[in-house]
Structure formats: C-alpha cells, structure tokens
Amino acid sequence: MSSSYCVRWGILATGDIARTFTKDLLINPETRGVHDIQHTVVAVASSSSLISAENFVSNIVTPKQQEPLCAAYGTYSELVQQTNVDIIYVATPHSHHFQHVVLCLDAGKAVLCEKPMTVNARQAKALFEKAKEKGLFLMEAVWTRFFPVSIAVRNHMIDNKIGEVLRVSADMTHILHDEQWDVGNRLIRKDLAGGCLLDIGPYPLLWILQTMWHIVPKERRKGEPRIKGTAMTMDPRTGVDIMTTMLIELQSSPKGEQKAQAVATTGFCVTFDPDGENTAGPTVRLYGTKGELQVIGPIYRPEKYRIILHSGQIIQEKLPVPAGGHGMFWEADEAARCLRDGRLESGVIPWDESILTMELLDEARRQGGLVYPDEIERLTI
C-alpha cells in the first residue's frame, strides 16, 4: 500500500471558525475512512497579538499534535513566508478575504479561503486570475458540499429519483443573541461586510446551485441562474441586511425540459429551528414531478434527508458526521488531494461556481440597496 500524502497547514486568524476547522483537521482521517491523506498544522498567526496565536497553538493544536511542532506568529506576513507551509487556511472576516488571499498567493502559498470568497464578484475573479497566473491552488471553503448528505442528494438529482425538479426552497435563518446585536459586532458592522446575506446567505444559494446547476454538464446548461427579485430588511442603526429573500429563475431544470424556480431565505430575526430539535420541518425542499426531497436540520451541516414519492414510498437516510467532528475535515481532504494531484481548483467547488455565487450575491445587494464602503469593495489593498 502506498503511503498517505501529508499536508502542512498554516492557519491565518485565530477566531471561532479557525478553531473549529483546526480541531477537525487534527482528527485522525482513518476515523472517517480516509487513508490517503494526513494533515498537520505547522504555523498559526494572529493579527492582534503573538499571545493570541500562542494560546491557539497550546489550546487547540498541541493537545492533538505533539509532532511536528507548531509555530506561532504575531503577523500574517510572517506566516506566509514560512517555507514549511504547503497551504494556508484563511479564516478572517470576509471583508478582508481579498487582501489576505492576495498576501498568501503573492508569497507562493496555496489557499483554502472561508466562504464567502470575497465581498463581490470582481474581487473573486481577480483572486482566481492571480492563482491561475501563479499556478497555485485556491478554493472557497464551501464545506457543506463535501458532506455525505450533499453527495447523496446530488446523486439523487442525477438519477431523477424525484423526476424533473422544478422548484427549490432553501432557508438559513437563525436568531442572533442579544450581545450579537451590538453595533460593534462583526455581523452588524458595515465596514466588515456585515449582514445576513454575506454571512449565512451563501448556504441557501449553495443548495440551489449544487442541485440545479453543478450537476448539469456545461454543454447542457442554458444560461446562468438569475435573481428576479430581492426583499431586504435593514438594521436601521448600521444599514446592513437582517432579513433577505431572493427569488431565482433557472433557465432550465437539471433534466432540461422546463424552466425552474428557487427561493432562498436568510436572516437574523427568526430561526429555522425554534425548539433546537429540528422538528420544524425541512430546511431544503426539492420539488419534483415524481416526489419531493427534503433536507432535515441545519443546511450548513446536513446529516439527514428524506424522499417522499407520489407512489407513497418514503425513503429516509441519516448520514452523521463521524468521530465527533464538525464536518470541516472533508473540505480539507479535498484541498489536500488537489495539492497532491497538482490541480489548481476543485471539481466539487470550481472557480466559476464561486464567481457565480458572488455574482448572485452582488445582484441581490444591488436590488436590495445594500452597499458597503469602498475600502472593502475595491480591488486595491
């Protein structure tokens, strides 16, 4: 048996998402049936202080990885210069993704960047162009696409299990805690590209795109999805959106016989899971001519789905995340395999689909009147 491929990670930022990702990264891959990939964390950087990075290493990395030693840095510039780093996970607020990915690419580093890729489509296009020019791997961390439930649902769409799918609804809403409504919180700050659309709005879009667009061969596509209408409710204090609904027209269903429609909802004022037990019903519904496919529970971390056919047959599947993980290790495995195989982009979340997502978000913002400061919208650093 050939030896596994080991990837050496650098972690850029030390917030909640970086902690969750790194914990998953250090779970033994064999516990999820992966034998060809290994991960190590060799460097962590914080922009706020060296102590923050050191605490991250001692609290998150060292308990799971004694060798190799993981270094801590007090600046991102130091991190990207380390020769023992193969790929950098960018976990800063999305308002700063553009500048931080540029920093990594200019230093010759491959990048896995948290979603959304950038603040707007122009920035995303510029990053992918730079990655192509430099021959470097770059991927948006759309972790949900790698879940077994996502894979199973895509396969059911391909085999027409529920017939021609003509409508999709997808919801990602959750109520902010009292302290999160503070105007200083990143979710509410306009200078950090706050608001529900860019923070959690990509999740309903990813379900629409992975089921109605991604699975369709490029030669059969009849035109990109379009935002036909957007409704936004703004926070009167800061001007970011706190409730948004998008109506999307797809030029054809995956089967290609008729046009299809989709509704994506997101917000901070209500929740898809009022009792915390996922009893409120499906968060994603795919309506087909032979039945319906429903995703149960949080759409960002799906573990269950159900198919209800017109014949009366009901199929239910539960595909839990193994090893007590959160589920972010699968996207890391994909990034590692791409590095091993010399690929610049992933086939699961290719560059053009990250750009398409940003274009849809751009149009929703245009229709809803959500404009961010030029400092985070522009292409210069």
Question: pLDDT > 70: what percent of the chain?
Answer: 99
Q: Mean per-residue pLDDT for 277-300? A: 96
CATH of the domain at 265: 3.30.360.10
Residue 179 CA, chain-centre distance (Å), reads 25
CA distances from 333 to 25, 30, 128, 303 (A): 9, 12, 21, 19
Rounded to 5°, the CA angle 236-238-239 comes to 65
Q: Same structural domain for residues 166 and 312?
A: yes
Torsion angle (degrees, nearest 10) of CA 54, 57, 62, 67: -100
Identify whether residues 188 and 274 lie together within a single domain. yes
Q: What's the order of all strands across the beta sheet hosting 165-173?
A: 226-234, 241-250, 260-267, 165-173, 282-288, 291-296, 304-309, 314-318
The amino acid sitting at 99 is: Q
Q: Hey, what are 36's tokens?
A: 């060809």
**Mean pLDDT throughout 129-156?**
99
Q: How confident is the model at residue 30 (pLDDT cuts 50, 70, 90)?
A: very high
Mean of all residue pLDDT scores within the chain: 97
Query: What is the chain's percent helix, strand, coil content, to nearest 5?
Result: 35, 25, 40
- 375 lies in some domain: no
**Are both 264 and 164 inside the same structural domain?**
yes
Phi first, then psi: give them for residue 26, nearest 5 degrees: -95, 5
d(CA 195, CA 374) in angstroms, rounded, equals 16
How far, in Å, CA of 198 to CA of 232, rounded?
Answer: 13
Domain match, 257 and 173 both: yes
Residues 307 and 282 in one domain: yes
Instruction: Please say whether the dihedral angle defined by the alpha carbons of residues 53, 90, 171 and 362, taken in this order, is positive or negative.
Output: positive
Q: Determine, yes or no, domain membership for 355.
A: no
Query: Is residue 278 a part of any domain in this protein?
Result: yes
| Average pLDDT value for residue range 324-349 | 98
Query: To the nearest whole percent, how much of the chain has pLDDT over 90?
Result: 96
3-class DSSP state of 333: helix
Tens-place pLDDT, residues 222-270: 999 999 999 999 999 999 999 999 999 999 999 988 999 999 999 999 9
Flag whether 118 is in a domain: yes
198 vs 191: CA distance, rounded Å: 13
Mean pLDDT of 330-349: 99
Contacts of 293 by beta carbon, 8 Å cutoff, 6+ apart: 153, 156, 157, 161, 162, 285, 286, 305, 306, 307
Q: Which of 335, 314, 281 is nearest to 146 (CA)?
A: 335
Average pLDDT, stretch 101-112?
99
Separation CA 46–CA 72 (nearest Å): 8
| Res. 374: pLDDT tops 90 | yes
Tell me which amino acid residue 264 is.
Answer: A
Let me know: does 242 contact 196? Beta carbons within 8 Å: yes
- Are 192 and 117 found together in one domain? no
**Which residue range(s) make up the domain with 162?**
148-320+361-368
User: Does any domain span residue 72?
Assistant: yes
Taking alpha carbons only, the member of 152, 162, 119 closest to residue 357 is: 119
Q: State the pLDDT at residue 1.
A: 41
What are the distances in angstroms from CA 358 to CA 286, 296, 321? Answer: 23, 26, 28
Which tokens is 60 given? Answer: 């998150």
**Does residue 91 sit in the same domain as residue 181?**
no
Q: Within this chain, do residues 95 and 166 fall inside the same structural domain, yes or no?
A: no
Q: Are 171 and 266 in contact (CB under 8 A)?
A: yes
pLDDT of 338 reads 99
In a domain, 46, yes or no: yes
Residues 58 and 124 in one domain: yes
| Residue 374 in domain | no
Residue in the block written with tokens 């398409």: 356
What is the pLDDT at residue 2? 61
Spatial contact of 339 and 86, defined as CB atoms under 8 Å apart: yes
Classify 68 as helix, strand or coil. Answer: coil
331 and 266 assigned to the same domain: no
pTM: 0.97
The count of structural domains within the chain is 2
CA atoms within 13 A on the CB side of 34: 22
How many angstroms from the chain centroid is the CA of residue 299?
11
Please tell me whether residues 102 and 152 are part of one structural domain. no
Taking 90 as the threshold, does the pLDDT of residue 112 lie above it? yes
Cα(239)–Cα(249) distance, integer angstroms? 27
In a domain, 381, yes or no: no
Instruction: Give CA–CA dist 102/254, Å, rounded.
Output: 36
pLDDT digits (tens, 9 = 90+) for 298-325: 999 999 999 999 999 999 999 999 999 9
Claim to verify: residue 94 and residue 16 sit in the same structural domain? yes
Could you tell me the CATH number of the domain that includes residue 68?
A: 3.40.50.720
